[in-house]
């Protein structure tokens, strides 16, 4: 166990973070009912809801949604780091998440974090950016999830502002899934790996965030003040009460799963074979681009971005999808490149 880092009287600022130091935190147990409750609300796939269906799947047993794992990690971070004095200003996103092993019921989870890079923002010198690697471990010591993440933290002694911004200060603009060349919608009667076409577009519906649901999700998974209290939200970088980024991600996966299950029902009704999908090895380029406030209505859309053959699983391929959400003003507020295993019609032959 790593030695506990002492918290300065004014809280942990950018200056206090030691690059390369491993810090362990958190301890939480996840029950079967916890897994099913989250899945019903956000990720109702059979492997997360039904023990018999899960045993027949690749994972071999009832397991938590990957986004449930992320929400649990966020709760451990909130309890084990942020409440311990980190002057958190939120996170702009996750560069990559890997789900390495399933999270089964009754596992006891812990976390550890290492900072790989830190700097103050040139255009906002009072704000620091950490590049951090978070790992979730089970009671056997196996790493079951890894985040390559970004964290904003206060700077105790800000330097001068640089108007032009620093090198790499602004990431390259995202390609909007609403603009540019648009592919056709997927064929509603065919959903095997070979059937899917790069560029195909699917609209995933809309969701309006309410104050009550924002606070309820935050209380359970991300109890930072700007997700819980209107006055604290007004005093934060966000300027008002706003949804946890993981709340937005949970709504996205719910919309995505609902869309795919609708397609599967249509295929069954047409008497055609239905491809098996899942699990997911993780995601990339998760970005929370703008806050989501009470009353905001997000519209979600996805576009098939890439298809990857697998030598290790010739009966499956990986589909990569770029998904985004935009608010009622047309502003893109959320971006993710999702990945999922999809059944092939014929085994892959290199």
Reference 67, options 260, 251, 208; nearest CA is 251
Higher local confidence (pLDDT), 154 or 9: 154
pLDDT at residue 188, rounded to an integer: 66
pLDDT in tens, 15-36: 999 999 999 999 999 999 999 9
* pLDDT of residue 330 exceeding 60: yes
Question: How would residue 160 be classed by pLDDT, with cut points 50, 70 and 90?
Answer: confident
* pLDDT of residue 4 exceeding 70: no
Q: Of all residues in the chain, what percent carry a pLDDT higher than 90?
A: 79
- Comparing 113-127, 160-174, 214-228, 244-258, the range with the smallest average pLDDT is 160-174
Helices (H), the chain: 32-42, 46-49, 51-55, 66-77, 211-221, 225-228, 230-235, 245-269
- In this structure, the dihedral spanned by the alpha carbons of residues 75, 76, 82 and 88, taken in order and rounded to 10 degrees, is -60
pLDDT at residue 10, rounded to an integer: 83
The arithmetic mean of pLDDT across residues 300-324, rounded, is 96
CA-CA distance, 224 to 229, in Å (whole number)? Answer: 9
Question: How would residue 223 be classed by pLDDT, with cut points 50, 70 and 90?
Answer: very high
Distances (CA, A) of 176 to 181, 207, 289: 10, 19, 13
The arithmetic mean of pLDDT across residues 215-230, rounded, is 96
The arithmetic mean of pLDDT across residues 179-193, rounded, is 74
117 contact partners, CB below 8 Å, separation of at least 6 = 19, 130, 131
pLDDT in tens, 69-97: 999 999 999 999 888 788 888 899 999 99
pTM: predicted TM-score of the whole model, two decimal places: 0.92
* pLDDT of residue 105 exceeding 90: yes
pLDDT at residue 2, rounded to an integer: 44
């Amino acid at each position: 166990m790593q030695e506990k880092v002492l918290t300065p009287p004014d809280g942990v600022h950018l200056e206090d973070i030691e690059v390369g130091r491993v810090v362990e935190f958190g301890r939480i147990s996840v029950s079967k009912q916890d897994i099913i409750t989250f899945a019903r609300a956000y990720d109702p796939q059979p492997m997360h809801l039904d023990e018999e269906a899960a045993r027949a799947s690749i994972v071999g047993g009832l397991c938590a949604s990957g986004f449930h794992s992320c929400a649990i990690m966020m709760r451990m971070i909130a309890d084990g780091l942020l409440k311990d004095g980190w002057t958190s200003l939120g996170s702009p996103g996750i560069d990559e998440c890997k789900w390495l092993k399933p999270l089964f019921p009754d596992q006891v989870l812990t976390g550890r974090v290492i900072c790989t890079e830190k700097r103050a923002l040139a255009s906002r010198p009072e704000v620091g950016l950490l590049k951090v690697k978070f790992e979730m471990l089970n009671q056997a010591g196996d790493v079951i999830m890894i985040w390559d993440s970004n964290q904003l933290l206060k700077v105790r002694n800000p330097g001068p502002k640089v108007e032009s911004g620093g090198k790499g200060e602004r990431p390259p603009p995202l390609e909007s899934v609403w603009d540019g060349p648009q592919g056709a919608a997927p064929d509603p009667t065919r959903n095997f790996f070979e059937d899917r076409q790069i560029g195909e577009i699917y609209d995933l519906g809309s969701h309006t965030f309410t104050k009550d649901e924002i606070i309820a999700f935050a209380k359970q998974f991300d109890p930072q003040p700007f997700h819980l209290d209107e006055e604290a939200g007004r005093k934060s970088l966000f300027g008002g009460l706003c949804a946890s980024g993981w709340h937005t991600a949970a709504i996205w996966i719910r919309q995505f799963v609902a869309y795919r299950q609708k397609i599967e029902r249509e295929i069954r009704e047409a008497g055609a074979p239905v491809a098996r999908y899942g699990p997911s090895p993780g995601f990339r380029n998760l970005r929370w681009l703008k806050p989501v406030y009470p009353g905001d209505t997000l519209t979600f859309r996805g576009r098939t971005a890439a298809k990857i053959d697998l030598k290790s699983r010739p009966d499956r391929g990986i589909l990569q999808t770029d998904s985004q959400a935009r608010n009622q003003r047309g502003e893109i507020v959320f971006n993710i490149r999702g990945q999922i295993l999809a059944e092939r019609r014929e085994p892959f032959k290199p």
